[in-house]
Chain A
């Protein structure tokens, strides 16, 4: 039933392809149907329960002269759709007068496929009022572990179904299911701090998944305790320090520092390109460091096919310190001189797809083991890990950045920033908590500074990427912890 609408559109799809053929144009047609729901509980009370549906189609055309236009409408009727195609072609022709250069598209292999992940019946079984009751139970449990805070819990569900049809016969349909359970805690004193935590999964069953819930409760309680402690914590001085970052911050580093700069739509200005061409083969980091992006099944940012209807490929952006793959789409790959990795994604049928990350990770060759689950590691355990590995012998005091709270990059300059939820100084004098501060620097400096990794790969750090005004889910991670040696171009903000 999840694809009933999209699979019923054969007639309109065929009519559009035929009209484009007659007019000498190439068509990429995207139809989308998206259903979202959100339940929000605050202090034991349901404050919001809302649903939304959005559906429609986007007509991306290239006319016989290479003119490009995109037209969209939120229904699937044949008549308006064909009229929209005509308007798009007229606009593509008009655009030449504004100095719009012709576009070139890579040759694509047409595929006909349908991909529906298992377990989507959980969306049909979801009862919002039961979910709200479950959120209230969880909230009470967290309050018992960390009392005295104002708390919010929210469950968001999102079924995002796409169909892409092209003039060359490609016809691909898939569904991306996403659920996120979020928590935030605010301290109640005169100086208030808010700290959040989350877990994600492909279906609403995560509310009844003992493993997921145990992880969520641990993360939430930790966030709550931090919210209570931060108002009294001092600021950390600014400067360059030996750093430990957790896997969620490492995701931020990979995403902000390297991922965006490797997106080929910006290669006329990216620091990872020269004269519009990807600097493939250039050394950009330490030889034991690699950065990989690929869709991961069941992940928050999973997208098996590109917005052009081609299977997305694994991209090794940095392979043992050297640039290897760019994130490319059929439009940018030929100009970038890079392999086509089919990385184009779009927020909705209304907007032009862009090369984007999916799940991005930093991998270290020779990472050291770290036993147990990531949640077992508080600052004391991290200090023990570092001491055993000799890191504290090298650096008497290390600054541990814990928890990712967003980031941003300027791909033109390579300047990146991201923020953490807390800072701990770890050393012989003990462990001290500090307020969060911005972590900023140059991408090359950061990647060269990575020295050690601890623990297995953990790739469930989620977020939302807002490139070019389009919000799409992002995710990624790394080993539990990465150690960065001090580098003059990598700094912790502060006061």
Chain B
């Protein structure tokens, strides 16, 4: 990746008598292959085989008068128009004493983020995809699904961080992901920096089928009320962990727009049940969220946000670390390096039995409409399966409501190990109203 023109321009830029005092740039050069399937039509015009090449850079400039500029540049600006692009950023400079820090060299941890086979896919070697598509189509035919949609994606990307303080680090990584949903309702998928092997791929597909089939039967005669509800790991990731991370964001903490206050971190306030922990480890080899350094040049390291139910650290970039006078934290970039942990989890089958009379919520609609700050939630759960003494009893269209923090402090909360899932499910009494 050649960013020499941009680096040279950073050293030479002067605007109205002001020069660049310090700078950092994070550049990514990527190549990506995507093959989509929409309504059973693989590679249709709406989900075609797509190849893309890109070079982008995020730049932070600290001017000689202390003002800050931030910008995102594309390949054309990086390669051809760097000087003009940098001069233009001066017009949008602003005072922000907390944002002036630029990092120097550091020791970066080794973590495996590259896989040669995935790299070949990203270059357009499509043959390995044939068996995956055949496997999905086979399940669709065998179980009588009307349609399926999904995608297979591979990419390679070089990430490089360069700063005026002498930091210059680069990593070549790959990524692989796939997703398939049946009848537009229930899906499954996988993402990592290397491909899942074929047996794991088949097993994951097979695990998705029973729930999809269970939705065909009707269990709408159930009454509403507070019942044992088993939240699928997809729901836990999309709602529970997303809401916690939103409230842990340093900007939200510093500005008082999140659920957690600054002083609560100083006092290690108890915000969840005393046996729950939320942490991030970007050093898991070949995990989708694995990396060696952040875009600011911060070395990757494990971080604990909530330990034994108590606040430990917000998610802090350099700016908000300085403002809150705490060490910066490498942020999660994918869910597979975020760990919600607690007491030994119930096995999935035992959890289903324990939830008899309640329901398994496989998916929810409307997560993005919720007020994460208050923790109050009211969501539609059209993909819900009623659970009875003999297991699945059919589909239950429902709404679920309550307060997230109330759930995570409930003595009745149990973590549940779903086969093949990184994140635990949650079993807890929740208000569930069939529609």
Contacts and interface: CB of A to CB of B under 8 A. Distances in A.
A160 interface: no
A11 to B, nearest CB: 16
4 closest A-B pairs by beta carbon, nearest first, are A412-B184, A419-B369, A100-B43, A52-B72
A46 interface: yes
Contacts, number: 289
Contact of B93 (A49, A352, A494): A49
A300 to B, nearest CB: 18
A95 B52 contact: no
B75 A56 contact: yes
Nearest to B95: A46
A127 interface: yes
A472 to B, nearest CB: 14
Interface string A459-495: 0000000001000000000000000000001010111
B166 interface: no
A305 interface: no
A313 interface: no
B185 interface: yes
B292 interface: no
Interface in B363-412: 365-366, 368-371, 373-374, 376, 378-380, 382, 397, 399-402
Interface in B47-77: 47-56, 68-77
A457 interface: no
Given A235-B401, A493-B378, A72 B371 contact: no
Nearest to A54: B74
A128 B92 contact: yes
A308 B70 CA distance: 34
A52 B57 CA distance: 10
Nearest to B123: A87
Interface in A379-433: 405-413, 415-419
A425 B116 CA distance: 61
B162 to A, nearest CB: 19
B108 interface: no
A238 B401 contact: yes
A495 B94 CA distance: 46
- In this complex, which of B36, B370, B371 has the most chain A Cβ atoms within 10 angstroms of its Cβ? B371
A409 B365 contact: yes
Interface residues on A, range: 35 or more
A92 B43 CA distance: 9
A53 B256 contact: no
Contacts of A352: 36, 45-48, 50
Interface string A55-91: 1100010100001111111111000100010011011
B89 to A, nearest CB: 6
Given A51-B92, A94-B49, 17 more contacts: A39-B92, A48-B70, A49-B68, A54-B56, A68-B49, A70-B49, A74-B56, A74-B74, A95-B49, A98-B129, A105-B45, A188-B256, A194-B257, A235-B376, A352-B36, A412-B183, A417-B380
B382 A53 contact: no
Contact of A53 (B46, B72, B96, B400): B72
Interface in B315-341: none
A205 B380 CA distance: 40
B9 to A, nearest CB: 15
A440 B256 CA distance: 31
A269 B147 contact: yes
Interface stretch (A110-118, A168-176, A213-221, A260-268): A260-268
- In this complex, which of B79, B94, B147 has the most chain A Cβ atoms within 10 angstroms of its Cβ? B94
Nearest to B60: A50
Interface string A11-51: 00000000000000000000000000101001100111111
7 contacts: A53-B85, A68-B48, A72-B50, A95-B35, A417-B369, A489-B435, A493-B380
A191 B51 contact: no
- In this complex, which of A90, A99, A266, A440 has the most chain B Cβ atoms within 10 angstroms of its Cβ? A440
Interface string A232-266: 00010011000000000000000000000000011
Contacts of A280: none
A70 B48 contact: yes
A283 to B, nearest CB: 23
A494 B401 contact: yes
Interface in A343-393: 350-354
B95 to A, nearest CB: 7
B270 interface: no
